[in-house]
Amino acid sequence: MDTSAYILSLADRCVKCGLCLPQCPTYELTANENESPRGRIALIQGWLSGQLSPSRVLTQHLDQCLLCRRCERVCPSQVAYGEIMDQSKVLLAEQTKTRFSFQSLIINSSLKLLLNKKSSNLLFSALRLLQKSGIFVLIKKSGLLKIIGLQHLISYLPDLDKPAKTKNFYPAETRTPERAEQVKVILGETRSGSGVQKIQGNVALFTGCLSQQLEPETINASIKLLNRLGYGVYVPEQQVCCGALHLHDGNKKQAVKFAKTNINIFNKQKNITAVVSLVNGCTSQLREYPQLQISESFTHKVKDIIEFLAEVEWPDDIQFKPLDKKIALQIPCSLQNNLRAENKLMALLQRIPGIKLSPDTVYNNCCGAAGSYFLRFPQLSGQLKNLALDKLKKSDPELIISSNLGCALQLKTGLTRDNSINVIHPISLLEQQLKSN
């Protein structure tokens, strides 16, 4: 079956019932059927059956989809909306010439630099220097960034910490029966259970291409927690970007290239029970590598860090300090609609005494970050960010928890004038509250 016929076979499952419409953030903002899942499927059917040409207007309606897959979750016909869109974008990119614009040139070049490990290491080293020396403030004030079209992207750049410098392997923590007894006494433990830490196995960590630069504390916290739970952690240095952004932008060739490199690297880790991924969006892409028609994928071993920690056995003596801060929780679309693991995130957070989660403090609609969407459609993205922050700030939180790097950066940009609220990854919060013993 050729690609067009395959996409049509998936799209034809849609019975046009419209149940997905109230779930769609772009339909909610525009009230335009072409900006809804049902409308986009109809456009794709029209195009692939020859009734519509792949015009600029058609392309724009497809591009403005956030790929949040909220529609997929409620669809009674189980239409594989995400796969339809990914395949359609690849085909559309093959059939149409990209219109040149200064803005797309800047966005594409920036993404190319950021998503390549070598160039992004160099770039972030330079940015760190500029931030430290104070020159960066002067550049921002000079208006130069606006002239060269980088002002919006740079507004997402946080104050940079040192990047995560990882080793190849971090051995699991072990605990002798004697030490276990001492710990029980220290904690005033009366519960049964040996508290003897067993080695549970090894995992390999998929960190995502930007986490080492932008979220080093999450990497360190994940390694620490996994070690504490009895898992040795490999961090393969040669791992590359998962390729999600490239695929969503129609660049299948580059997505396949990255996928093959990652498969080759992680398949070499023979003694691991799981490939644990730190970014929800990357986890979802790693798990969907078979859709790129590559064999020997390690998909069956891929677990998001949230899923992994929620599913494994926890030793009795791991305890957390109570949290005395008001929190709000943002649930990323990739965790909710692709991985369907939001309950696991809640269960994990409930391990921290004092944490209060209620419908008033949880936001599960798209925040507008959506891969490179925040760069390509800043207006729609900004509207969604404001809706998210309005809801999240209602309960007057001191902390907003988000498990996806892109969403966390998006929310942070909206909080720049509100320094009293911090955005934190759930794993960093768990590690922060971990009682040392």
Torsion on CA atoms 354, 281, 283, 166, rounded to nearest 10: -80
Residue 29 binds ligand SF4, judged by CB under 6 A: no
3-class DSSP state for residue 233?
strand
37 lies in the site for ligand SF4, by CB under 6 A: yes
Helix (H, G, I), strand (E, B) or coil at 176: coil
Site for ligand SF4 in 80-99 (CB under 6 A): 81
Kind of pairing, strands 399-402 and 422-424? parallel
Q: Does 22 bind ligand SF4 (CB under 6 A)?
A: no
Q: Given candidates 4, 6, 10, 19, which one binds ligand SF4 under the rule CB under 6 A?
A: 19
**Are the CB atoms for 271 and 293 separated by under 8 Å?**
no
79 binds ligand SF4, rule: CB under 6 A = yes
Taking contact as CB under 6 A, which single stretch among the options 73-81, 123-131, 207-215, 421-429 is the one that binds ligand SF4? Answer: 73-81
Q: Is 18 in the site for ligand SF4 (CB under 6 A)?
A: yes
Query: How is residue 287 written in tokens?
Result: 């798990």
Q: Distance (Å, rounded) from C-alpha 437 to C-alpha 431?
A: 13
Strand order in the sheet with 327-330: 362-363, 327-330, 399-402, 422-424
Please, which residue, 239 or 285, has the CB nearer to ligand SF4?
A: 285
Helix (H) or strand (E) holding 101: none
- Beta carbons of 150 and 375 less than 8 angstroms apart: no
Q: Identify the three-state secondary structure at position 205.
A: strand
**Residue span binding ligand SF4 (CB under 6 A) among the ranges 46-54, 62-70, 148-156, 385-393:** 62-70
Position 384 contacts ligand SF4 (CB under 6 A): no
Please state the closest distance from residue 111 (CB atom) to ligand SF4, in A. 20
In a 3-state reduction of DSSP, which class is residue 248? helix
The nearest distance, CB 337 to ligand SF4, in angstroms, is 8
- Is 244 among the residues that bind ligand SF4 (CB under 6 A)? no
- Closest CB to ligand SF4 among residues 30, 433: 30
Query: What residue type is 335 in one-letter code?
Result: L
Verify binding: residue 15, ligand SF4, rule CB under 6 A: yes
Query: Does position 34 bind ligand SF4 by CB under 6 A?
Result: no
Contact residues toward ligand SF4 (CB under 6 A) are 14-20, 23-26, 37-38, 40-41, 65-71, 75, 77, 79, 81
